[in-house]
Amino acid sequence: MAKQEYKQLPKRSEAHSATEQFKDTIKTSLGLDLFKGLGLTIKEFFSPSVTIHYPMEQLPLSPRYRAVHHLQRLLDSGSERCIGCGLCEKICTSNCIRIITHKGEDNRKKIDSYTINLGRCIYCGLCAEVCPELAIVMGNRFENASTQRSQYGSKSEFLTSEQDAKNCSHAEFLGFGAVSPNYNERMQATPLDYVQEPSKEESKEESKEEAPTNPESHKGDENV
């Protein structure tokens, strides 16, 4: 690694007399640096405002913003997407998700309780990435301050209402954890893509060879 050569700036001559001090003051006050700063101040004074009146006004958030979770429903039937696999609970690094399930009459898992401890959650989004049914996603509600813990953390706080799902009042989720719009283009080739399909002539020959023979015709030949 090459050594960095530092350049030593010349020392500023100190003004000893009153005349030299006056000249330095005039040079510093009326120099270009002063006008540059004044020009920037005047430019920003007439430029549009970049601040907003929060909380009455809020800036739009990115669709992949990671905030308080949402539990999704199917848009056509309104049923819950969660199948109780427990992958979100296992992958959670902060151990804030807890699922209690039981087997129903159809031998499928039924969810008894689904809780998320927002006091421990670090909003990493791993639960949304690992979910195979897109049941848990990251929302954009970042204001979750409360004086009581019982006001948030239960399933009813995260689950989408059944009426909104059936009425299709909200579109399919496209935020963090959802399938990317260009997922078809990003898919890589698999070994099945290199398998050559048999030609029409080969398929006809194989069908003739595999065609079953009629046993009654053979019996007639033997009698003759």
Q: 127: annotated binding-site residue? A: yes
User: DSSP letters of 16-64?
Assistant: -SHHHHHHHHHHHHTSHHHHHHHHHHHHHHHSPP----TTTS-PPPPTT
Q: 88: annotated binding-site residue? A: yes
Rg (CA), the chain: 36
Residue 136's CB is within 10 A of a number of other CB atoms, namely: 24
* Token pair recorded at residue 174: 């496209």
Q: Compute, in degrees rounded to 10, the torsion defined by CA atoms 165, 166, 167, 171.
A: 40
Q: Return d(Cα 121, Cα 58) in angstroms, integer.
A: 24
Q: 85: annotated binding-site residue? A: yes
Query: What are the two backbone dihedrals, phi and then psi, of residue 71, each rounded to the nearest 5 degrees?
Result: -105, 120
Q: 168: annotated binding-site residue? A: no
Annotated binding site: 82, 85, 88, 92, 121, 124, 127, 131
Annotated binding site for [4Fe-4S] cluster: 82, 85, 88, 92, 121, 124, 127, 131
